Chain A
Amino acid sequence: MKAMITAFGGRITFIQLAVIAALLMVLLPAITDIYRLNLFGKYLTYAFVAVGLVLCWGHGGILSLGQGIFFGLGGYCMAMFLKLEASTPEATASQTTPGIPDFMDWNRVTELPWFWEPFNSFTLTLMAIVVIPAVFAWLIGYAMFKRRVGGVYFAIITQAIAVIMTILIVGQQGYTGGINGITDLRTLLGWDIRTDSARTILYYACCVALLLCLLASRYLLESRFGRLLIAMRDQEDRVRFSGYDVANMKVFVFVVASVFAAIGGAFFTLQVGFMSPTFIGAVASIEMVVFCAVGGRLSVVGAAVGAFMVSWSKTTLSETFPQLWPVLLGALFIAVVMFFPRGLAGLVSDYAPQALSKWRRQAGRTPPSGDPAAEEPSR
């Protein structure tokens, strides 16, 4: 039992996760309505991407500016399945070709394209959500890391791929739904996902999946592989000369990050009810990097919290001050990079122990009060 706890990084991991779980699954549903809860669920899907970025950027030193690609792949796989389910011959009887998605009919496509066929099956869809992004990430990673391309070049090329994919999806309207994306999704295996109860259940499912991802990441980072990852980030040549295959390690961590992003994308589609190319492109992808940077690029829990908080403030602030938001986001970028490279999690771990010990000393003299500092290190 004790060995198992250590494998995940000790008791502190479980305390952190328990606090997160309590916040997400007990406190938030208790204090907000279903509309807000659905929005929160949407923010949580970005947390999957941010957690993946902690692995590959924070610990592996590989900055990918194309995580939107994988978020989008996961999301589109799910959306294609849901769309096919919504496009029964009865529901689309008014079309020239009944039984195919509506946007295909509008674009005078008369037959379901071959790459849509597998998405008639739920099992294949679930597999595709994981396998397609993993294979794609493996291809990109293998081609580049084997040739020792890294750093800035990798960032630029992944960003270019994200841009290419956006242009492709927007351009091939008849097969992909174009700029509007795949909309009007209704049921999942006959279960209406637009009802309040379905949204609540999906929110909980998303929370559970996120917690599992967090746990898996902690396990990975606490393992030997995690140590090697950091060694590789800081002194790549030494690790290589010690006989490790650095390229394989990089490919692996990139694939893991991509699969996390894809799972997030699939949950996004389920909860928001559509998927569009805006979540793939360069801007979306780099925003996901900010989520991770603000939360703390070294802390998986921090990154998840960062994703949640930044996207929440984005919604709130861009509603009230549409002019101010881009300036704030830009300033946040600069501030995080220049003054808090370790993000919120870094601030907490710098100041929380002091606050905690101060509180303990005071508590020794006076009876303990409900000091909020006690809750701080849980981030």
Chain B
Amino acid sequence: MSGFTTQELFAIFAMQGFSGLSLFCVFLLMALGLAIIFGQMGVINMAHGEFMTLGAYLTYLVSVQAATLGEWALDAYFPVAIAVAFLGAFMLGYLVERFMIRHLYQRPLDTLLATWGLGLILQQLFRSIFGPREKTVTMPDWLLGSYSATDMIDIPLNGLFILAITILLSVALLVLLYRSRWGTKVRATTQNRTMANAAGINTDRVDRLTFALGCGTAGVAGAAFTTIASTGPTSGGQYIVDTFLVVVFGGAASLFGTIVSAFGIAQSQSILSFFWSGSMAKVFTLLTVVVILMFRPQGLFASKVRR
């Protein structure tokens, strides 16, 4: 690390740290939905990345629609796009639970294979509908440009925006799970399904909504994703393995753990990639996570529930 002055090093850390923050947002947005589904039902949703891609494409469609309406629509379309992306992914998730996942609750390894198959089909559908080339969303003016903290540090506005969405979504999910009546039902089902059933909770319904909600979250992730990168058929799928590591590393059924591990993994990848090549940074980070998981399989923050 010699050859850099302290000030330069600080600037590097700040800017790499910020680009790591964008990666953190993508990881966390995807991992939140995955963590809810995995923590709640023990189901591995390998098609989660495709739900995110779906959200991204829906956002693209809304932006194309907005562009035909005129300048004012382009400035304001984003909230609509987020809603559309959420609803689209939510509904698809609902159907998938209803017709596929429901039959496989006793066989978690099989849901993994079935959802991987679903992911393949969705990917090919995206490719057939939208074409193999990546699509870029027309961004509103207020998202372009950057904020200069010092003369060496430039922070892009879209990065700040995606960070804001991530924080909002995380808070919303935390409130929903820990402060709402529905959240109580979800946590009751997670902790003891039989007792929850006996207490009059319709656990099948809870499962269905939880799965759909997790998928809807992925849709919002997709909408946010469009502000920092363009969308291709495999945009979501390429993050799936990292995101699983994030969830497992954080500890299943612990949203707080998911946040911490997403932050750690994204930051170390991003900061290391400045000093090494990007691939070595990724190899090193993932390998560290895997090795830690071998010694601490329950993850960073294990839930203290007797099973």
Interface on A for B, CB 8 Å cutoff?
63, 65, 140, 143-144, 147-149, 151-153, 155-157, 159-161, 163-164, 167-168, 170-171, 282, 286, 289-290, 293, 323, 326-327, 329-334, 336-338, 341
Contact = CB atoms under 8 A, between A and B. Distances in A.
Given A152-B109, A333-B114, A338 B294 contact: no
16 contacts: A65-B112, A147-B294, A149-B294, A152-B108, A156-B44, A156-B248, A167-B279, A289-B113, A326-B123, A330-B118, A330-B119, A330-B124, A334-B114, A334-B118, A337-B117, A338-B103
A333 B279 contact: no
A160 B100 contact: no
Contacts of B116: 286, 330, 333
A326 B121 contact: yes
Given A156-B245, A337-B117, A167 B110 contact: no
Interface stretch (B158-166, B209-217, B222-230, B282-290): B282-290
Interface string B125-148: 101100000000000000000000
A65 to B, nearest CB: 8
A152 B100 contact: no
A63 B117 contact: no
A338 B104 contact: yes
B282 A167 contact: yes
A288 B94 CA distance: 30
A170 B279 contact: yes
A156 B244 contact: yes
B117 A332 contact: yes
B307 to A, nearest CB: 12
Interface in B254-292: 277, 279-280, 282-283, 286-287, 289-290
A248 to B, nearest CB: 17
Contacts of B100: 334, 338
A102 B16 CA distance: 36
Interface in B19-59: 42, 44
B98 to A, nearest CB: 13
Nearest to A62: B109
A322 B160 CA distance: 41
A230 to B, nearest CB: 16
Nearest to A329: B120
Interface residues on B, range: 35 or more
Most buried by B among A63, A155, A160: A160
A225 B278 CA distance: 45
A160 B124 contact: no
Contacts of B110: 337, 341
A123 B293 CA distance: 36
Given A63-B112, A155-B112, A326 B290 contact: no
A140 B218 CA distance: 31
B28 to A, nearest CB: 18
Contacts of A168: 279, 283
B117 A329 contact: yes
A327 B118 CA distance: 9
Given A144-B294, A327-B124, A151 B117 contact: no
Contacts of A326: 120-121, 123-124
Given A167-B286, A334-B114, A337-B117, 13 more contacts: A63-B109, A147-B294, A151-B108, A152-B108, A155-B44, A155-B109, A157-B290, A157-B294, A159-B244, A163-B286, A168-B283, A332-B117, A341-B107
Given A152-B44, A171-B283, A323-B124, A333 B108 contact: no
Contacts of A159: 241, 244
A298 to B, nearest CB: 14
Nearest to A323: B128
Contacts of A63: 109, 112
A330 B104 contact: no
Contacts of B44: 152, 155-156
Most buried by B among A63, A65, A164: A164
Contacts of A327: 120-121, 124-125
A327 B129 CA distance: 13
B204 to A, nearest CB: 18
A-B pairs, top 3 by smallest CB distance, nearest first, are A333-B117, A171-B279, A330-B120
Contact of B114 (A167, A171, A337): A337
B212 to A, nearest CB: 19
A333 B124 CA distance: 15
B294 A333 contact: no
Contact of A171 (B120, B277, B287): B277
A319 B55 CA distance: 31
Contacts of B103: 338
A331 B114 CA distance: 9
A295 to B, nearest CB: 14
B286 A164 contact: yes
A149 to B, nearest CB: 4
A155 to B, nearest CB: 6
Contacts of B112: 63, 65, 152, 155
Given A168-B279, A289-B113, A333 B104 contact: no
